[in-house]
Structure 1
């Protein structure tokens, strides 16, 4: 229903109300007038025509009836007329009322729809407000620095994280050019670079720059930038999301230092060396490699402790820096260093070697420790000796090995003949392996005599092999370098136990077996000896193991533990080659040896050198005072034997007394 219908309805209702109020009075008035007119004129009319009293009465009756009939008819038509109007109006009102009801229902429906729309609008507004609050919370509480700015660099807004990180208040930076405040002077160009990229690409990701905080600190920042259109002010702005990479960069630098630098000396390490070498090789840059290895450093490290060894290496590193640039020196591992110089002139190489030798030989002191260092050097050149990293590494290894094996404290330049020596060494290792597989080894036995009685009191088991064309000492050295010595030791022990059980058990004689450093370091040595002793039912009191100082000092604490377990099993322990290398009286006081073997180098000189005789005498006296028996090794002259008798040495061994014997010959000797 429109507004016009609504007005008509109101008008109809108004007219109906008027009729209801006026129509009854109108009818009454008409009736009253007619009544008065009838009374007024009807009596005159009767008087005019009535000639008698009866006629008059009759005409009065007819007049009354006529009046009643006429007024009734008139009333009928008047009432009918009014009623028809009333009915018409009633119908109109009814129709309008129905229309009004319908309109009212429409209004109610519209009102309900309006209410729903209002509720929806309220919900939408609430959601928008919540979303706006949510976005604002994200903006303000994000762990990312957020900056909005115009392409002219003017800052429009910043979030809380930015202010917390950089220390700026909002008034310090909003409305200012961010690049004037944040960028260090040397990085001002980055703003123009960034703005140019944004104009062309509309977004720039993973853009790094330095940022200056309010307190002057420099941050490493990573930004993701995007241009967006703001319909509220019809402007295009830039939104930048920044992450602080400062700690990450510091960690990366630390990781780099750990990955590429040696922690102890500060020199670059093996990984950095390989990277730098490959770079020089790719650039075809000629250079010389010096491969330095400290001689006998492990004795300093193991006797006096790793702290002492580390102190020396730090000091030696500082010595190297007096003649080399830090970027050219690398710590290879342990006590090894590599130096790169872009100079392959032989005269200059010789000068460098002399300089290294000069700075190395100076005595080094730390607290009560004195160390006389020396260094072996392997030298190789690029591209003369090799054209790739692996070849250079192999060459410098061979050159250093040659320097070490030639007497140490030497500098040796690589030569192609070294490859032949390596191949020979590998052939010997293969020969040893085949000898173990084919059981080509055999045992011989060198007697140890009582110097006083001349009786055999023990025998030393020695390994021999006809298939090896080198002396047995060289074979042992090669086996120790290759690790084959452990297999050889196990073979000797097993064979010696077998011979003891089958041939020698009935004799009152002690069997000595040499144990290498590899065997001492082996974690399953004790279990092996325990099992094989049970297998052959050997009396361990008839077995003595000979250990050298060299085999003990790799890990003195471990060695003490192993010797203690050997003694617990019942085996005897002899200290072999006493007086060589770095002999220490600490061994004699802390390790439960049963006997001490004086090295041949002292016995050789006791006839001609008073000092050697005094040293041997002191060793014998010291051993006796500690409850140890003494064995003199390498007796080859009668004069030596006579002196040893005078010095009260217990036992002797050497070619003067007996050479190593085959088992059959030994048994004849014993009998």
Structure 2
């Protein structure tokens, strides 16, 4: 066949008459988005579209809807015949001409006689009846959406009000009385999930016996397990202290099944650690089962008008099945807004919903119409895109990140948010929706750990790391109860004559299965929960008691205890230290508190006040890891500190590294000018020791003298410790 279809097949005008009678606009694709009409075009088409050249139309330029559809159509036209899905590709219905004269249209891409064809069909004749049916269904669905939205807002408002009461340190008994008659089920747990408040609705809806405290403690855990099937990320979200809400099917203790809408909100104390979880639940079984067939209500999120989580699971499962048979690659992007809760709490839920709506629209514009964009709930979105190569995957990721750059204006104020994105690929990172979702969620969490406002791709090491982390978090609580922590002590050697022993207390965790676990691993985990306070209290009490036990032998032991930023910022920290000294009988001058620069950078005035109180009590204060931060010199003059601990990164390079020599000498001179002593950490060679002695360093600490030792190994060498600095 030569020439075009228009030339060879339609010269007699017969086919043109047929097309005109059917009210169809038929085109042959010339190139890209350029199309040439076949036969006469209907009048309605000419009222909407104009040719860019003689008998040529750029449909993508003139219709945003067609621009998106033609991306998919082009892939369809260029696919081999045995790879095409069906005999044609449909666009779905859209309207042209505005609200008053809108005309419903549908486009079809097809291939005939090896030609790429595009048909645009006018559906006006049979559309009105369908529209009325759709309108009635829409009105019903919107009514249900309104009810769902109102319930969601009421849950959020109740959760926020209870959170404020907990933060105001109201008694749990008072709070329990406040919610006793609330129609929503209320459960307040501590950070470990132990029940502290449960109202009557919780007992009635979920058939919990009023005296079954152990059963109540398991309610949150049971909910997490039940929801995990539809929300694989829920445990990670909750344990990391993030807000969560959603709907899932729950089975009561009597075997009946219910659909519940659950809201879990963390309460963060002044140190940013989770102190409580506030859970608000409602039975929505009647609403759920009473709306089968109302697909819009079932599938659309009422806030953003995007597919909701239920719709997302169905769509991604179908897409995976299609990708499996057609050997395609998919990319799942898990998008989580950074610090959204702060904005939501400060501006209110209506403003928060406006932000979600705005970002939902931006995210949807980052991908093709055939890709999946869903609002999973809260501040979380999911995008699933069909991709061909790594470059496409990275391009979409960057497009998503960039979509958050423009500010959102609310009441004449610009707000800027960023997002953390995790990516998992099918089939490389998982062969089913649940696995892909878990892996994308872990990658997103890794992006947040690395500083937020970035995209991270899933790697197996991320999953293994998170699983190990989760197990360690669970084991930390048991470690305190089972006495798995030990204190080791590393001597600090005076380079002049000394009449007492100086030791630094260093915690060790002897895990029953993994052996010794480094503090660098478990201390950050403890700082993210309230466990750091329990661990810190144990270290302080144990170290004070150890140092005091030698008083009867006439041996003075000064012990240094490391204090984390979380501990130092506690309002009752001074009281805790005073109690430890009182319980042990240790004189204040034999206790030294070590803090790091990060302890005071954000709350300078409060920390200076706290350190001043410690010094007035007679306690010495050391600034640990001095020189490792960027602001040390700026704050040094303001801090009431007795000792500077020179960071071992400088000591390690002595005496060969010129810059380290210069920094070390300058720090020692500066400290002495400010009437402070200097303790050098990490001394391992005689050359390092000689240089530090030459510069007038006061104390040294490191493997050259002693490794950290268990407490029972130190008394026999106390005399050696006091003499070591003058002998070497």
Indicate the structure (1 or 2) with the bigger Cα radius of gyration: 1
- Greater helix share, 1 or 2? 1
Q: Which TM-score bucket, shorter chain as reference?
A: 0.3 to 0.5
- Write 1 or 2 for the structure with the bigger share of strand: 2
The TM-score with structure 1 as length reference comes to 0.47
